[in-house]
Amino acid sequence: MSTTTTEPAAPGAPDAPTPAPVRGPGKESRFGDSGAVLNVFSHGFLAVWAIMVVLPLVWIVLSSFKTDAQIGGSAWAWPHHWSLSVFHRAWDKGIGSFLLHTVIVMVFSVTLTMLLGSMAAYVLARYEFRGNRFLYYLFVAGAMFPVYLALVPLFFMVKNLGMLNTYQGLILVYVAYSLPFTVFFMHSFFRTLPTAVHEAAMIDGCSHTRAFFQVMLPMARAGLLSVGIFNVLGQWNQYILPLTLMQKQSGTDHDHSVLTQGLMNLALQQGYAGDMPALFAGMTIAMIPVLVVYLSFQRQVQAGLTAGTLK
């Protein structure tokens, strides 16, 4: 394979400044065909799907600038006045506070998930003791079943703890339901780390706890980042849990709705029927943070989401 020393690094490696492949006449194709037909064909299909993904999203953003009459009229109506007041209206209807609630919950739930998940995963991955395998499978089994199967008793459990419609209740539930995947992922990650560093630390008289926090955890940074992003997206998207656990318990109870739930309630409410643009504006506001996070971390997000499923 000596003729291919100039080939680009990896096929389709994202962001790699792909040097224009040498396409001399003789080198044109090593497959039977030149690939030109396939290339047009590929771009065709990919572009169609890309439009199918982008069109509805752009359409929603545009719709927030339309009037009610336009939204009810034709899908192709073009907004006339580009006023930002609609975003203000949406914010006032609660989008702002929904965002705040979501952030409060997630700061704690994601941190706790990562801490507890990696502690359990570390012990299960690195220490031999009776019941080790049993505990591990117990955790992994939890990832297999849909959440709604446990919903009935869970509701009463949280109720008995007096934690319905409280942040701490939702945080604990989020943590508990994120543990299976976190443990599963971090377990395999800790297994791949070299043992030598850990042994050296132990010989130097480091305690087990300190070895974990100061040696192993920093070494597992990449894994933590991946599974952390996975948990952020997963908890951000939760719908059925907050819907059940975060309903107002009495008239005077504070509204602690998180974003998904709040948005859905707004969509279902009669009051919003008269103000579709505000609903679309609310959606736009809700999409922007995800879009920003996603675009700035897209490689980690993609790596994080897929790494868990690769060996």
Nearer Cβ to other proteins, position 60 or 254?
A: 60
Minimum distance from residue 254 beta carbon to other proteins (Å): 20
- By rule CB under 8 A, what count of residues binds other proteins? 118
Sign of CA dihedral 143, 302, 226, 193: positive
Of 193 and 202, the one with the shorter C-beta distance to other proteins is 202
Nearer to other proteins, 204 or 218 (CB): 204
Stretch that binds other proteins, among 85-93, 127-135, 191-199, 220-228 (CB under 8 A): 127-135
Least separation in angstroms between residue 35's CB and other proteins is 4
Work out whether 157 is an interface residue with other proteins (CB under 8 A).
Answer: yes
Q: Given candidates 2, 17, 82, 127, which one binds other proteins under the rule CB under 8 A?
A: 127
Contact 234, 178 (CB under 8 A): yes
Instruction: With beta carbons less than 8 A apart as the criterion, state whether 185 and 227 touch.
Output: yes
Of these, 87, 184, 189, 280, which contacts other proteins (CB under 8 A)? 280
DSSP label of 20:
P
Rounded to a whole number of angstroms, the CA Rg of the chain reads 25
What is the footprint of other proteins within residues 27-66 (CB under 8 A)?
A: 27-36, 38-39, 41-43, 45-46, 49-50, 52-57, 59-60, 63
Contact in structure between 164 and 249 (CB atoms under 8 Å): yes
In order, the DSSP letters of 204-222 are TT--HHHIIIIIIHHHTHH
Kindly identify the residues of this chain, within the stretch 106-125, that bind other proteins according to CB under 8 A: 116-117, 119-120, 122-124
By CB under 8 A, name the one of 97, 219, 287, 300 that touches other proteins.
287
Site string for other proteins, 60-99 (x = CB under 8 A): x--x-------xxxxxx-----------------------
The answer to whether 242 and 252 have CB atoms below 8 angstroms apart is no
By beta-carbon proximity to other proteins, the closer residue of 19 and 85 is: 19
Q: Which stretch binds other proteins (CB under 8 A): 87-95, 103-111, 193-201, 287-295?
A: 287-295
Residue 269's nearest CA partner among 290, 285, 253, 255 is 255
Q: Which of residues 193-252 bind other proteins (CB under 8 A)?
A: 202, 207-209, 212, 233, 236-237, 239-240
Binding residues for other proteins restricted to 165-184, rule: CB under 8 A? 172-173, 175-177, 179-180, 183
Q: Which of 106, 109, 110, 142 touches other proteins by CB under 8 A?
A: 142
SS3 letters across 46-103: HHHHHHHHHHHHHHHHHHCCCCHHHHHHCCCCCCCCCCCHHHHHHHHHHHHHHHHHHH
Closer by beta carbon to other proteins, 2 or else 252: 2
What does the alpha-carbon distance between residue 173 and residue 233 come to, in Å, rounded to a whole number?
16
Widest distance between CA atoms in the chain: 79
Beta carbons of 28 and 34 less than 8 angstroms apart: yes
